[in-house]
Structure 1
């Protein structure tokens, strides 16, 4: 069964997800290159990556986003209307502090930007859970993945290219301008189902008792409740298992290209343009074809098998086959598989998120996936350093195969969800 998503939803969700990755990709991709070009040492650059932890721990305040919102402006929409301008403000604030002379104050601005973008992501995910029907979520998450890739291309690639022409302030103003665009879309959007009790806005199908239980510390108890449900725990284990193998690919690819003697510009084109375009194609293949033809479990199996094959292709360059033709083929396979995989994952994550705590439920799943990725990335890099790329790749392959076996033995209920009206 298929469903057609309105143009309004496509532009809204695509724009909001893109704006998140504009900022994040700038911090993690463009800014390290800018700082290095201005003479900053590696220790001064390393602290930038600590901002990624903010996105991993956003679960700590997700229940607050679920618990409080505006009846007049829409529960999650009201958060976005506040956070999007704050993201723009923090970018403009960063433009005041030149690099590398004012790294301390720049760090404050970027830390605030990371908190705002992570919180905006909670609200946007929850809004997507509420606004997309089950049949719309496949294509909807293709749009989410595509928005992320486009944001990465612009924030990590085009802004970096503009730096030579516009300088620091000009580049930051350009980034702020592009982050402003989604404001026009969210200002026109009307969030559905907005009754309110005690200042908390939630869909009308929930009782006042259910609403009361989402406020305060009870919101955190709901996160624990979500994690301890048997079918949810099985799904979380699946996310963690696949995250280990996927993060290995992301970790090993760039240093391998450096070792092959590729220039930074060549690597940038491959990983910030060719790769993301392949990822977009993979995302829409999953959203418009795979998820419409197969059940969630079958879709995960197909994506998992493709991803294992894509990881295996890394053995070619690791084994010395380093021609550009082979490496570009590997990059295309990896990004295409990644685009498919995360689109299916995001869709199941939405399916399993209850409307009454959409932001918390989705963020619980995302945080498990993200934190595992950060940890396994460090482990895989250490393995590659001590034993070589091939050993690390075989470890990733083993984890990928175990993930597929885990999916096979689990029931279909682990990848679907019955909406709970009253907990």
Structure 2
């Protein structure tokens, strides 16, 4: 029984380590910068450090085909990136967040690049270690691992920085990451990878560029991802402007993340298990569009502090639904033997769209107000739902025609 569920436990552990560093970048550092007087525009632009997630599909074929050692294809890359993350985070500890903005930006970019590489290996591991019926559960477990990483990298780290200071907190975080790295020796290498660890490197970038289903999927999720990125990038900054302490902001985000991924993500997984992935995509986007529309209306009639805290919870709930829904859809589209590359291309597209939302988020909040940042994701998800429905209708129409053509040839 233990060996049967080891991959599931491993997914939580691997995602925790990976997203611990990511959460530190997107949750802790922006709060620290804003608390030290950085403008909304500057903090919004800092989010572009996640650019690595928009282009990591370029080296995904390398991670998909080239094993680094006898640990195997997936595990060797996971171990390398875990060690690299620990090293880079320890180096960041010796920078000053009050004066070394450029250096922190560059080190954060390196940290994001390493995390983006690890995500290729992790997604490939999930796609090959689980069968199609287990993938919604795998997506939910990956989300739960993100929660653990977010709590440690966001709330716990902010609390430690307030108590012991920047350098001791980051060095402690680096030590914890080193401990997480040992988990890679406890998980089995997927059977599909064991015979490929010596496979020659075959780049498949051009195959991706010719894959219409991947491009179509990327296009239909774009509006929703861009919209929620605007809300996500500004939700904690709103709390800063309202006078919340940095540690309190970290715990508000962390608890919101825990609650939503404990309740919303498993519920979404259970619902998706009962429907086709594309119909689940339509359902998820439609529910989120209605939810953000209602939130934008309610925001105008309740206390600003209550609304700000509630918005954080709802944005994380939206991300939980989006994560499980989109990941389940992506895993279903992946080609055998190229799961890491295909899924990474789609997650890279999501990251690119998120950057489109991140970059102007500070300007939108500063010029139009935080309330507008709740309207944008509602409109985006509504458009994504319409596009997904149109694609499904087109697929349903094309299927009978293909069957008719096959019948005529026989």
The question of a shared fold, defined as TM-score above 0.5 by the shorter chain, is answered with yes
Contact 2:17 2:177 in 1 (8 A): yes
- 2:47–2:359 contact (8 Å) kept in structure 1: no
Preserved contact between residue 330 and residue 343 of structure 2 (Cα < 8 Å): yes
* Structure 2 residue runs without a partner (length 5+): 397-410
Contact conserved, 2:74 with 2:193, CA < 8 A, in 1?
no
| Partner of residue 204, structure 1 | none
Counterpart position of 2:337: 356
Distance verdict in 2 for CA 1:376–1:108, change over 3 Å: closer
Matched, 1:235 2:233: no
CA contact (8 A) 1:276 1:335 kept: no
Compared with structure 1, are the counterparts of its residues 225 and 94 closer, same or farther at alpha carbon in structure 2 (3 Å cutoff)?
Answer: same
Q: Provide Cα deviations, 1:170-193, integer angstroms capped at 9, x if missing partner.
A: 212221122123322211223123
Which of 229, 233, 243 aligns to 1:247? It is 229
In the alignment, the residues of structure 1 paired with residue 392 and residue 297 of structure 2 have an alpha-carbon distance, to the nearest angstrom, of: 35
| CA distances 1:146-191 after superposition (whole Å, capped 9, x unpaired) | 1112211210110110123333332122211221233222112231
- For residues 325-404 of structure 1, the aligned pairs below 5 Å read 328-379=309-360, 381-389=362-370, 393-404=374-385
Query: Is the partner of 2:136 in helix, strand or coil?
Result: helix
Cα distance in 1 for residues equivalent to 2:157 and 2:340: 31
Q: Pick from 72, 75, 90: which aligns with 2:73? A: 75
1:65-102 CA-to-partner distances (Å, cap 9, x unmatched) read 12311473211211112221121122223334455466
Paired residues of 2:32 and 2:246 also in contact (CA < 8 A):
no
Of residues 116, 119, 124, the one that matches 1:118 is 116
Instruction: Find the counterpart in structure 2 of residue 203 from structure 1.
Output: none
Distance 1:133 1:281, change over 3 A: same
- What CA deviation, in whole Å up to 9, does each residue of 1:272-296 have, x standing for no partner? 3234422442111112x11222222
Task: Give the Cα separation in 2 of the matches to 1:91 and 1:126.
Answer: 25
Instruction: State the alpha-carbon separation in 2 of the partners of residues 243 and 17 from structure 1.
Output: 21
| Distance in structure 2 (CA, Å) of the matches to 1:315 and 1:390 | 7
RCO higher in structure (CA 8 A, sep ≥6): 2
Query: Which residue of structure 2 aligns with residue 57 of structure 1?
Result: 55
Contact 1:304–1:404 (Cα < 8 Å) also in 2: yes
Measure, in 2, the Cα distance between the counterparts of 1:370 and 1:352. Answer: 18
| Match for residue 140 of structure 1 among 127, 138, 141 | 138
Q: Is this contact kept in 1: 2:47–2:358, CA < 8 A? A: no
Query: Residue 301 of structure 1: CA displacement?
Result: 2.7
Comparing 255-264 with 336-345, which one deviates more in the overlay? Answer: 255-264
Structure 2 vs 1, CA of residues 318 and 379 (structure 1 numbering), >3 Å: closer, same or farther? farther
Task: Report what 1:8 is aligned to.
Answer: 6
Alpha-carbon offset, residue 138 of structure 1 = 0.5
* Count of matched residue pairs: 393
Provide runs of 4+ in structure 1 moved above 6 Å: 43-47, 412-415
Cα deviation per residue 1:380-402 (whole Å; 9 max; x = unaligned)? 55455444455554444333222
Q: In angstroms, what is the RMSD of aligned CA positions?
A: 3.3
Indicate the SS of the match to 1:233.
helix
In the alignment, what sits opposite 2:303? 322
Change (3 A) 1:414 1:159: farther
Task: Give the Cα separation in 2 of the matches to 1:41 and 1:385.
Answer: 13
- Contact kept, 8 Å, 1:74 with 1:190, in 2: the verdict is no
Name the SS of the counterpart of 2:67 in structure 1: coil
Residues 239 and 368 in structure 1, CA contact (< 8 A), matched pair in contact too:
no
The alignment partner of 1:398 has SS state of helix
User: Which of 213, 218, 223 pairs up with 2:208?
Assistant: 223
Match of 2:404 in 1: none
**1:251–1:361 Cα change, 3 Å:** same
Worse-matched range after superposition: 266-275 or 333-342: 266-275
In the alignment, the residues of structure 2 paired with residue 383 and residue 100 of structure 1 have an alpha-carbon distance, to the nearest angstrom, of: 25
For the 8 Å contact 2:229–2:355, the answer to whether it is kept is: yes
Normalising to structure 1: TM-score of the pair?
A: 0.81
- The answer for the alignment partner of 2:265 in structure 1 is 283
Q: After alignment, is 274-283 or 114-123 more displaced?
A: 274-283
Instruction: Flag the 1:93–1:267 CA change in 2: closer, same or farther, 3 A.
Output: closer
Task: Decide which structure has greater helix share.
Answer: 2
Structure 1 stretches lacking a partner, 5+ long: 201-211, 416-423
Aligned counterpart in structure 2 of residue 89 of structure 1, from 82, 87, 90: 87
Counterpart position of 1:185: 183
SS of residue in 1 equivalent to 2:71: coil
Q: Distance in 2 between matches of 1:256 and 1:22?
A: 23
In 2: Cα distance, 1:165 partner to 1:324 partner: 25
